[in-house]
Amino acid sequence: MSDFIPVAAPALIGNEKKYVMDCLDSSWISSNGKYIELFEKGFADFLGVKYAISCCNGTAALHLALLALGVGQDDEVIVPSLTYVSSANAVMYCGAKPVFVDSEDQTWNLNPDLIEASITDRTRGIIVVHLYGHPVDMDPVLAIARKHDIFVIEDSAEAHGAEYKGRKVGTMGDIATFSFYGNKIISTGEGGMVCTQNDDLAARVRQLKGQGQDPKRRFWFPMLGYNYRMTNIEAAIGLGQLEKIDWHMARRREVASWYRAGLSEFPQVDFSPEMPWARSVFWLSCIVLKDGIDRDMVMNSMLQKGVETRPFFYPMHILPIYQSSTYGKQFPVADRLARQGLNLPSSALLTQPQVDFVINTLKQAVRRLV
C-alpha cells in the first residue's frame, strides 16, 4: 500500500488471477461456466446452507429475496433506518413500503424492542442488517416473526462469516443476502448471493434472476424476471477469495484488535462493539465520537495527513425519498450514530505500523477540537 491509507482495498492473495485466466483461455466469460457452480457450492458449504444462488450484486440479491417471498404492491417490510440505502430501495422496487425502526446503542443494529410497535396488518416481514459486520440480536427478532407469521431476511452484505451464538449469519432467517462488492470481506468486484434452506424459495430465485425462464423449457417465460446473473469471471474471482476466507476474516479481526488496543484509553471515542454472544467480522473498524466533537472536521484533518475515513451511512428517515413516510417518528440512536460515526481504514492488507499511524492521526485530530 502507498503512503495514502484508504478506507478499504481488496486483498487478492489467492487463485483469483489463475481462475480468471482460465475463463479467458476457455472463452467462458459470461453467465455460464464452471466457476459459477463452484462458487455457489463453496459458499453454501461455508455457511452450512442448502442453497447459495449467485447474482450480479447485493441489491439484486435483496430484490430477488423479496420477490421470491411474494412481496408486492402496498405490502410493508420493517427495515432499520441506519443501513445502506439498498436495504430500503429493494423494498420499493417491489411496490412495497419500508417501515423504519431505530437502532440500539449496544450493537448499532435494529432494536428488536421496537419491532412490534411497527407491525400492521400489511406487514409481510423484517429485513435485519448485520451492520458493519456485527450480528443482529436474532433470537427476539425470530420470536416476533414467528408470533406474527412474517418472514425474516438477513441482509448479510457486510458480515460474511460473522456468528450469532455460534451460528453464522445468513443461516437463521427465511432467506439471506450477501454482497461481494470490492470493499467487502471477500469480493468479486460486483456480485451477490441469495442463500436459503427452502427448496421453493431457491427455485423461485433461480428463475427470477434468469429473466423468469422456465427451467425445463428454454426461451419460455411464464413470469416477469430479471437479468440478475453473475458472470463466470466474477465467480472465478469469488472462488479464489472464498478459498482464503478464513485468512480474510482473521486479518479483519486482527486489524480491529490493534485499533481496540490503541484506542482503549482514549475516552473521546467508542470503538466498534462486540457483544458476548457475537463474533463480529469487523467488515469496517468503526468509531463513534463523543457528542460535541465535529466528526467532519476530524475526517478532513485525517485526510490531510493521508488517511481516508468515511462517515456512517445517512439514516433512511432523513433521505428525501423516505422523509415523508417517517414524518413525526423519532430515531435518536440512528441520528447520533450517523452524526458522530466514522469508518477507519480496515483493509486486510493493513500492517500494524499503518494502524498505529491511523490511531495517532485520529488522536491528534480529536485533541485539536476538545
Number of domains the chain contains: 2
DSSP bridge pairs for 128? 154
Distance CA(161)–CA(172), nearest Å, equals: 13
- In the three-class reduction of DSSP (H, G, I as helix; E, B as strand; rest coil), residue 272 is classed as coil
Question: Among 77, 86, 31, which Cα is nearest to 53's?
Answer: 31
281-319: per-residue pLDDT in tens?
999 999 999 999 999 999 999 999 999 999 999 999 999
Question: Is a pLDDT exceeding 60 seen at residue 189?
Answer: yes
Spatial separation of the C-alpha atoms in residues 63 and 120, rounded to whole Å: 22
217: domain CATH number is: 3.40.640.10
Q: Are residues 317 and 351 in the same domain?
A: yes
In 3-state terms, what secondary structure has residue 24?
helix
Note whether residue 118 is domain-resident: yes
Closest CA to 35 of 49, 21, 51: 21
Looking at 18, 97, 168, 184, which residue is catalytic? 184
pTM: 0.96
Q: Does 227 lie in the same domain as 278? A: no
Residue 276 sits in which domain range? 245-367
pLDDT of residue 221: 97
Q: What is the pLDDT of residue 1?
A: 43
The single residue listed with the C-alpha cell 448479510 is 156
pLDDT score of 91 more than 70: yes
**Residue 86 and residue 327: Cα distance in Å, rounded?**
21
pLDDT beyond 90 at 347:
yes
Are 226 and 253 contained in the same domain? Answer: no
Which residue bears the cell 463474533? 279
For residue 34, indicate whether it is catalytic: no
Q: With pLDDT > 70 as the criterion, what percentage of the chain qualifies?
A: 99
Residues 34, 117, single domain; the answer is: yes
With vertex at residue 51, the alpha carbon angle to CA 46 and CA 54, rounded to the nearest 5 degrees, is 85
Asked whether residue 194 falls in the same domain as residue 63, the answer is: yes
196 and 271 together in one domain:
no
H or E element that contains 194 = strand 192-196
Taking each helix axis from N to C terminus, what angle separates 58-68 and 86-93, rounded to the nearest 10 degrees? 40
pLDDT of the residue at 2: 53
pLDDT digits (tens, 9 = 90+) for 14-27: 999 999 999 999 99
CA distances from 338 to 86, 312, 315 (A): 17, 5, 7
DSSP state of 67: H
